[in-house]
Amino acid sequence: MLDLNSIKKAQKRLDGVIEHTPFSYAPILSEISGYRVYLKKENLQRTGAFKLRGAFNKIATLIEEGKKGGVVAASAGNHAQGVAFSAKYFGIEATIVMPDSTPLNKIQGVKEFGADVILYGANYDEAYAYAIEYSKEREKDFVHPFTDDEVISGQGTVALEMIETQDDLDAIIVPVGGGGLIAGIATATKAQNPNIKIIGIASSGAPAMKNSFDSKKAHGTKSVRTIADGIAVRDASPITLNYILDRVDSLELVCEDEIASAILFLLEKQKLLVEGAGAVGVAGLLHNKIDMPKGSKIGVVLSGGNIDVTMLSLIIEKGLVKSSRKMKLSVIMVDKPGSLMMFTELLKEVGANIVHIGYDRTSIDLEFGDAVVSVHLETKGVAHQDEVRAKLNEYGFEFSEIQ
């Protein structure tokens, strides 16, 4: 198993290549959680994620060994961009196999660095299996995203920077998918201060590593389904699991709604764009998954910011509804001149802003002479929505809420 010396060697290779991303205090999150929270903003890293660290360190060691025949990788996106950037830096070819479901922004990010992209498989594990065969057939070096000591060493440099900035941390919270990041961070951290707790957070939609941690034996799952595509790993790696069992204090799960709320929180309150995988640590804090004494000084790794804009818009839309800032109604009214005007006047009286409206008089579910109006409203919270409901009830409108 690798040690602190390997990670410090990686730090030297990365010097001048990566950004030393900010590790700064988060006052609002601290107040909400009851901890003193500092955010390590790897979403601001070159290529948009921490993965550049491990990929660059691995490829740098290949170049040092005289291996310049090109590399192959499998990735849902962030590792792919790290490999593509590093290959371009050293002037070698790179081929990246990505799952069919990979967001377009991540595919484009890889191609912009000059790498070839092959889309294959429903998830990372299927893409990985194909990439292994592809690299063997073409006799190219495969750069694994997490089960490789040089990759893990590169990821561990995140912890070196955190501890250099704040040397009195009580805990570090780390996203967990394949386990490379937490293996590197745990190794670097425990070697310098074994009293710092290392807490992993995984998605309940990809629970392989959590199940393996609990049973102390590597397990796989039949499928994964999570908005945190960066940690959507189906099968736990025995290699990274050994690091986790040896050096990680606890591993918790957060659900999809909790991840989505953390993304929205970071966007609104911290002015940070963070992808699902990068937001799981904050989700753990916001939803009381962290078992530490209140007042503890906690570092949280925001591992990446490469979120698909379509997914982001969906998260924002659902978040507005959940937080009572948007209201969706289906309203039955008499289909006659003036009915719609009366309805919109009532909404005007209670100060609800219409952002979408539809009128249907032909649905087979309607009585003859009726129409159904679907309306989306901007509202100002629970009390305001209660006012809207009361006004519609007062005037006898039949309505239901659309979730």
Active-site residue 203, yes or no?
Answer: no
Find the length of the chain.
403
Could you tell me which residues come within 8 angstroms of residue 330 by beta carbon, excluding any fewer than 6 positions away? Answer: 372, 373, 374, 399, 400, 401, 402
Would residue 41 show up in a list of annotated catalytic residues for this protein?
A: no
> What is the spatial distance between Cα 130 and Cα 142, in angstroms, rounded to a whole number?
11
Q: From the candidates 86, 190, 303, 326, give the one annotated as an active-site residue.
A: 303
Closest to 24 measured CA to CA, from 6, 43, 50 = 43
Catalytic residue among 51, 106, 190, 197: 51
Residues 201/206/211/216 CA torsion (nearest 10 deg): -80
State the catalytic residues. Answer: 51, 303
